[in-house]
Amino acid sequence: MAEAHSAVAFSFSVTQEGIDVNLNHEALRAVWKSGVRSWKKRIGRAKNQVKNGVYPATPMSWLFIASIVLGTQLAGYDISFGLVGWLQTHIPWVREASSVVSLYTCCILFSTLLWVAKANLMKYTLKMLLHYHGWMYEPRGPMSLRTKLWMGLVKLFGGKKPLLMSYQSALPKINVPQVGDTIDTYLKSVRPLMDDEKYNRMQDLAKDFLNGMGPKLNRYLKLKSWWSTNYISDWWEEYVYLSGRSPIMVNSNFYGIDAVLVHPTKIQAARAANVVHAMLLYRRELDTEQLNPILLNQTIPLCSNQYERQFQTTRIPGIEKDKLMYSKDSQHIAVYCRGRYFKMYVYQRGRLLKPCELEISLQMIIDDQTEPAPGEEHLAALTAGDRVPWAKARTEYFSKGKNKASLDAIEKAAFFLSLDDEPQDFDAHDSTKMDRFGRSMLHGKGYDRWFDKSFTLVVLSNGRIGFNAEHSWADAPIMAHLWEYSSVEDKFKFGYKADGHTNGEPEMTPPNPIRLEWELPKTCIAVIENSLEVANQLLNDVDLHIIMHNAYGKGFMKTCRVSPDAYIQLALQLAYYRSAQKFCLTYESSMTRLYKEGRTETVRSCTIESCAFVRSMDDPSKTDADRIKLMKVATETHQMGYRDAMTGKGIDRHLFCMYVVSKYLGTDSPFLSEVLSEPWRLSTSQTPHQQTTKLDLVKHPEHISAGGGFGPVADDGYGVSYIVAGEDVIFFHVSCKVSCPTTNSKKFGDSINQAMQDIKNMFSSPR
């Protein structure tokens, strides 16, 4: 079980009779097929780069243009206005060729130049069209003529059958906002959170900044925006994620859980095999760019840049900051099971193993009864604790020998798989089961997920699944896309036999999983145990509660003619105000993927208008008609903030980047320091779904994922993630800290349910 299958292509020995050469034909065949697969991928990538480089033009359009040019020339018509003849006389080697070769060559050359010019004209026209965002600001109802014409032009110049990365060169760059606009928006956002004295003081700080270093810092940002693809994203990745020295478990990583309303099999190896196979098929579509790019309204493209590092990516610890290591290909996954680590090959003879073949390998790992090596069981606690001790330990103990080889097998794996020895489940009558499920995915035991991998797939002993994802390489929608794809393929494409095992029959015996070997000295084990102690303190302080709100969903919200997201955000504001008797700075994540290399921006959900609505809900002098009117105003304000964030008019990334520039220049800004130190006591995010066309929630509403969540951002605050799961269900994931006496996830969850019910009653009451 623990030994590797033979991978020696040939061996030889010297005897009295001479040199005896022994060829291993099976190994040679495997080496050959592996090389062929590698070259196919290289050639495929090169072809995709050419296609993407000229998109929205296509190779077929080149053939069409070349045929027209050549045909007209042969017919005696010169549509090149003499350029073909000019090329014939001015290119030396063409001038010396025969007249037929000369004509054909110059026609092809002219056609190619014309085709490239056409491609660039279409590309830059599309880029100019994508600068327009007026469509987002239109009121609900029929689309305006202007927007209809614009969308028609985008479809016309957007090309057909795009690859995943086809639109990348046509996406516009995000612009740097004006300092004055950012400050005005900021002051408006904090007005409901400050008394007059504090607000006047903040106004003075903002005025000094605007009249002082603000414009200078902004000029540097504009210079950066001209030079770089995106003036925000590289600094956001480096300073917000990779420079953090505290644990990434709970503090940064996020999680997702199963579609809990269905349970296709209780056999752990079978479920793992199907999902692993689905993820590897997704990776194949990613590599070949056959994965469809996300198009808003089936027309407007979003940036696909973040997909590139979804697989074979690991966060490498450093003393001052971490880095991301990405490998272009991997033919294995890393597996953790009952304290042991394995390298499991997922390809054999150049072919991806079928689910039934993967099940055999996974069952071998589950059945293996060998004991963990000293220190091996808790090894992954290094990735859960503080970053500096892990960085030092990695250099000292994992830079050579068996430890380096085994660590390489984990870090260069396609992804990490954890086969848990405990079950988790959903029970509509016992919410604590879902809470335990969520905690298992968020942090596990602190040593059974490799928190540095781009993601860890977790398969529980009863066949339930979930994941834990590292955050620096991409944002949640990218993982949600993979999760939705894999879950649907698992259930609807692969399926299971009546006994719960995978469908199909093995066509070959899969290679034995390789048990990874470790030689961990006592000093290294001491570091591991110290990291585990840090991880335990962190995970024991997590208070997580998951709510399945099924009283109503977006179906009712749409009858109120209110955005479901704005509706839920106001419910969260109401719940928080009732719980804390005050308002707080609220973070809602919004994407900026309408721009090249865009990631996220902040929507400040606590506004003057939302506060007015919240106060009215418990004000007996207000009627339901008054409250509805206030809510409509508040939701419009929220929607405007969301649109501004998506279209590059948000303020928080701009303020962050100006702060970074000030640090590079060695200058301190009291205004920026205070702004960047304000705690987000309510951090919220909506989990996206239906990013593929594979799942029909009308026919299969029970197959919606329960979403996922994250840890609290502030010590005395809440992290709230929610997924609008179809027409009638919303899942809320609420997290806070046990050590905080003023927060409680269960009580806050009850407040959310009450707020949702009160708002529904408000709309349902006779007026």
- Tell me which amino acid residue 752 is: I
- Tell me which amino acid residue 325 is: M
In this structure, are residues 707 and 514 in contact, taking their beta carbons and an 8 Å threshold?
no
Token pair in block for residue 306:
């973040």
Exposure string over 420-433, b if 16+ CB within 10 A, otherwise e: beebbbbeeeebeb
Partner residues linked to 331 by β-bridges? none
In this structure, are residues 718 and 745 in contact, taking their beta carbons and an 8 Å threshold?
yes
Which residues touch 197 (CB under 8 Å, ≥6 apart)? none
Partner residues linked to 744 by β-bridges? none
Which run of H or E residues covers position 646?
A: helix 624-646
Q: Taking each helix axis from N to C terminus, what angle separates 652-665 and 179-190, rounded to the nearest 10 degrees?
A: 120
In this structure, are residues 44 and 284 in contact, taking their beta carbons and an 8 Å threshold?
no
Distance, in Å, from the CA atom of 303 to the CA atom of 597, rounded to the nearest integer, reads 6
| 3-state class (DSSP) for residue 469 | strand
Compute φ and ψ for 430, nearest 5 degrees. Answer: -140, 95
Residue count (the chain): 767
Helix spans in 398-543 (H)? 401-411, 431-442, 476-488, 522-539
Token pair in block for residue 196:
């007059």
Among candidate residues 377, 389, 383, 380, the one with its CA nearest the CA of residue 251: 383
CA 275 to chain centroid, in Å, comes to 18
**Cβ neighbour number for residue 34 with a 10 Å cutoff:** 16
In angstroms, the first-to-last Cα distance of the chain is: 73
Q: For the chain, what is the largest distance between any 2 Cα atoms, rounded to a whole number of angstroms?
A: 107
- Tell me which amino acid residue 157 is: F
Which residues touch 613 (CB under 8 Å, ≥6 apart)? 570, 573, 574, 627, 630, 631, 633, 634
Distance, in Å, from the CA atom of 32 to the CA atom of 684, rounded to the nearest integer, reads 51
CA 533 to chain centroid, in Å, comes to 30
689 is catalytic: no
In this structure, are residues 413 and 453 in contact, taking their beta carbons and an 8 Å threshold?
yes
- Tell me which amino acid residue 55 is: Y
- Tell me which amino acid residue 709 is: G
In this structure, are residues 305 and 237 in contact, taking their beta carbons and an 8 Å threshold?
no
Compute φ and ψ for 349, nearest 5 degrees. Answer: 55, 40
Distance, in Å, from the CA atom of 635 to the CA atom of 168, rounded to the nearest integer, reads 33
- Tell me which amino acid residue 693 is: T
Compute φ and ψ for 643, nearest 5 degrees. Answer: -65, -45
Please identify which of the residues 277, 332, 378, 471 carries the catalytic annotation.
Answer: 471
Which sequence positions are flagged as catalytic? 471
